[in-house]
Amino acid sequence: MFGGDGTLNEVLNGIIQDDRLIDPEIQLVFLDAGSSCDVEKMFPEKLELIDRVGSERSYLVDVCKVACRDNQGIPVVRYFLVNSSIGVISQSVEYFNQKRPFMSFLKRLNIDVAAIYAGLINIYQFGNFSADITIDQSEHLSRSLKNLTVFKCSYFGGGMNYGVESGYDDGKLHVALISKMGRLRTLSYIPSLYSGSVFKKANAEYHQGYRVTLTGENLSVAVETDGEIIGTPPCEYSILPKLLHLIL
């Protein structure tokens, strides 16, 4: 396939049904041409684009699964390879994806600039939300949050990253929680997301697990997976270990 993280996500959801590949022999060739292509940053050695076609070298990767509800309240299941966010990041992605002339101009100018602009707009517009998070049925957290991200790749938005080691085949979900804070403090966190040092901040937490749920009352915040808005909470995340052969 030819595209970026969003296109890869669409193809991924077309070849998986009921947590299985529609054909166990499928190997997905990824030819990156998107705005960020964060998925590539999980892999230490990548082939040149022309060498990927017909290559016998593939990575056997974990696939993440999230169950939530679409905008009409109907249950929906989506699969992803990179990350899924709920909060100010997902709201920023929703704004970033809108077909606005100025946003299109910024994307042509520089993706990082466009991502920062969308983030700044939503830091001003979006507040915080209260939720209950359960990790592996053993860790129960009640938090007022600015954002939650479940990820396999610590990079997002082109140049931002959580600064932790996470493997494409480690069999784990990695979880970043950013607690409630005001606009000015949220702005002060942006440099730490580009330097990979956000977990040194007091309002940031890092967790690992195999199953993550998020519930709460009146949660109207968007759920995003690999740059695509898919619905709203409640959510349940799980891991499908070493499901897909990816060539890149």
Question: In this structure, is residue 201 part of a structural domain?
Answer: yes
The tens digit of pLDDT for each residue in 127-174 reads 999 999 999 999 999 999 999 999 999 988 778 899 998 889 999 999
**Structural domain range at position 81:** 63-247
Give a yes or no: residue 216 inside a domain. yes
Judge whether 210 and 172 are in contact, CB under 8 Å: yes
CB-count exposure of residue 191 (10 Å: 0-12, 13-18, 19+) = exposed
Closest residue by Cα to residue 87 from 19, 18, 156: 156
Q: Among the ranges 66-75, 94-103, 115-124, which has the highest mean pLDDT value?
A: 66-75
Assess whether pLDDT exceeds 80 at residue 181: yes
Model pTM score: 0.92
Integer angstrom CA distances of residue 225 from 91, 105, 214: 12, 24, 15
Average pLDDT, the chain: 92
Bridge partners (DSSP) listed for residue 29:
247
Q: Output phi, psi for 134, to 5 deg.
A: -120, 130
Range with the lowest mean pLDDT among 41-45, 109-113, 220-224? Answer: 109-113
Position 212 in a domain? yes
120: helix, strand or coil = helix
The single-letter code of the amino acid at 88 is V
* Average pLDDT over every residue of 113-136: 91
User: Is residue 22 assigned to a domain?
Assistant: no
Tally of domains within the chain: 1
Residues in CB range of 191: below 8 A, 6 or more apart: none
Domain presence at residue 190: yes
Does the pLDDT of residue 104 top 90, yes or no? no
Question: Per-residue pLDDT averaged across 68-94, rounded?
Answer: 94
Instruction: Characterize 205-220 residue by residue with b for buried, 16 or more Cβ atoms within 10 angstroms of its Cβ, and e for exposed.
Output: bebebeebbbebeebe
Q: Is the pLDDT of residue 88 over 80?
A: yes
Q: Closest Cα to residue 146, out of 168, 123, 116, 166?
A: 123
Q: Is 58 among the domain residues?
A: no
Q: Is residue 5 part of a domain?
A: no
CB 162 within 8 A of CB 199: yes
Which pLDDT score, from 0 to 100, does residue 36 have? 67
> Cα separation of 195 and 176, whole Å?
16
Torsion of Cα atoms, 110 then 112 then 115 then 119, to 10°: -130
Strands 27-29 and 228-247, by their bridges, are parallel
Lowest mean pLDDT among 54-63, 169-178, 238-247: 54-63
Q: What is the CATH number of the domain that holds 191?
A: 2.60.200.40
Rounded to the nearest 10 degrees, what angle do helices 101-109 and 111-125 cross at? 140
Residue 6: predicted pLDDT: 84
Q: Is residue 53 part of a domain?
A: no
